[in-house]
Amino acid sequence: MECCFFHTLDLKSHIVLFYFFVFFVVHFFEWREVFMKRAKKIIIGTLIALGLLYVILIIVAYLPYKTTPIEELTGKDSKFIEVNGNTVHYTKQGTGKPLILVHGFAGFTYTWRYLIPLLTDHFTLYAYDVLGFGLSDKPADGEYDMGPHGEFLIDFMDALGLPSATLVGHSMGGIIIAYASIAAPERVDSLVMIEPGFYNDPGPAFLNYMFFPLDRIMARQFYTRSMRERFFMGSFYNKSLVTDEIIDAYMIPTRTPNALEAMTQMMGTVGLKQYPGVTEQITRPALLVWGERGPDDPMEQATRINSEVKECKLVTIPESGHYIQEEKAEELAQIIKEYLQ
Digit-coded pLDDT (tens) for 166-178: 999 999 999 999 9
Digit-coded pLDDT (tens) for 31-68: 777 777 888 888 888 888 888 887 787 777 777 777 78
Amino acid at 286: A
Backbone angles phi, psi at 23, to 5 degrees: -60, -45
Q: Give the angle 18-23-26 at the CA atoms, nearest 5°.
A: 125
Give the CA distances from residue 244 to residues 13, 220, 247, in Å, rounded to whole numbers and listed in that order: 83, 20, 5
Whether the Cβ atoms of residue 322 and residue 195 lie closer than 8 Å to each other: yes
Lowest mean pLDDT among 184-193, 203-212, 297-306: 203-212
Digit-coded pLDDT (tens) for 145-156: 999 999 999 999
Q: Which of 131, 124, 171 is nearest to 151 (CA)?
A: 131
DSSP 283: -
Model confidence at 1: pLDDT above 50: no
Q: Which of 98, 82, 127 is nearest to 325 (CA)?
A: 127
Mean pLDDT of the chain, nearest integer: 87
